[in-house]
């Protein structure tokens, strides 16, 4: 009886390790494939981004696309909060505040696009997700352009815009590989 229990535990451990290894392999394979076609998305950035979500360890390719899209949406929400903080700290009539209001508008739209993109990935509507992710990707550039048009360089949003853009590009690249 004890040897049967021991055998069962060993089998369960092997199955667990195999499934963990397969999921980790899925992340590595996905990230290597993305980086091969998109050198601007390094494999280590892709892996570290996806593994930041514990659900990635057991996700298939579609699940990884969903995780990347949701991480992008979370980043957009944080960026909206940061923009609002900057607006509150500045003179509301300043050029910076006007530019920040443009950023607030485009990032608020991006939040909606990214939530809809996540729903599209879940529903298997990958073309819709690609369209929504592409629209959301423009937010960082539009925000930077608002400052550039006023001769303000670098913008106070340059770090946030760069991080956001990398995340959305990753999500877009993964979704674009789905059938």
Q: pLDDT value at position 49?
A: 98
pLDDT (mean) for 23-43: 90
Q: Supply the CATH number for residue 113's domain.
A: 1.20.140.40
- The tokens 């969903």 sit on which residue? 66
Cα angle for residues 49, 51, 55 (degrees, 5° grid) = 125
Question: Measured between alpha carbons, how far is 168 from 154 in angstroms, rounded to an integer?
Answer: 21
- In this prediction, residue 14 has a pLDDT band, given cuts at 50, 70 and 90, of very low
Total number of domains in the chain: 1
Domain that holds residue 161: 2-176
pLDDT tens-digit readout, 103-132: 999 999 999 999 999 999 999 999 999 999
Render pLDDT for 56-74 as a digit per residue (tens, 0 to 9). Answer: 999 999 999 999 999 999 9
Average pLDDT score over residue span 50-55: 96
Q: Are 104 and 150 in contact (CB under 8 A)?
A: no
What is the value of pTM for the model shown? 0.84
Examine the pLDDT at 7 and tell me if it is beyond 90: no
Could you check whether the bond before residue 106 is cis, i.e. omega within 30 degrees of 0? no
Q: What is the pLDDT of residue 155?
A: 93
Task: Report the alpha-carbon distance of residue 143 to residue 106 in Å, rounded.
Answer: 7
pLDDT digits (tens, 9 = 90+) for 129-160: 999 999 999 999 999 999 999 999 899 999 99
Give the per-residue pLDDT at 121.
98
Is pLDDT of 11 > 90?
no
Q: What percent of the chain has pLDDT over 90?
A: 79
Evaluate whether 124 touches 68 at the Cβ level (below 8 Å). no
């Amino acid at each position: 009886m004890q040897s049967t229990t021991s055998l069962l535990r060993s089998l369960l451990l092997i199955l667990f390790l195999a499934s963990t290894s397969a999921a980790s392999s899925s992340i590595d394979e996905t990230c290597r494939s993305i980086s091969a076609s998109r050198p601007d998305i390094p494999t280590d950035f892709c892996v570290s981004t996806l593994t930041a979500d514990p659900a990635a360890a057991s996700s298939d390719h579609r699940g990884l696309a969903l995780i990347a899209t949701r991480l992008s949406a979370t980043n957009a929400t944080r960026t909206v909060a940061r923009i609002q903080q900057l607006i509150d700290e500045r003179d509301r009539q300043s050029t910076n505040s006007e530019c920040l209001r443009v950023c607030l508008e485009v990032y608020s739209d991006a939040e909606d696009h990214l939530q809809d993109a996540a729903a599209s990935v879940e529903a298997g509507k990958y073309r819709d997700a690609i369209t929504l992710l592409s629209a959301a990707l423009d937010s960082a550039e539009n925000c930077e352009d608002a400052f550039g048009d006023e001769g303000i360089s670098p913008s106070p949003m340059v770090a946030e815009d760069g991080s956001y853009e990398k995340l959305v590009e990753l999500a877009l690249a993964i979704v674009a590989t789905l059938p």
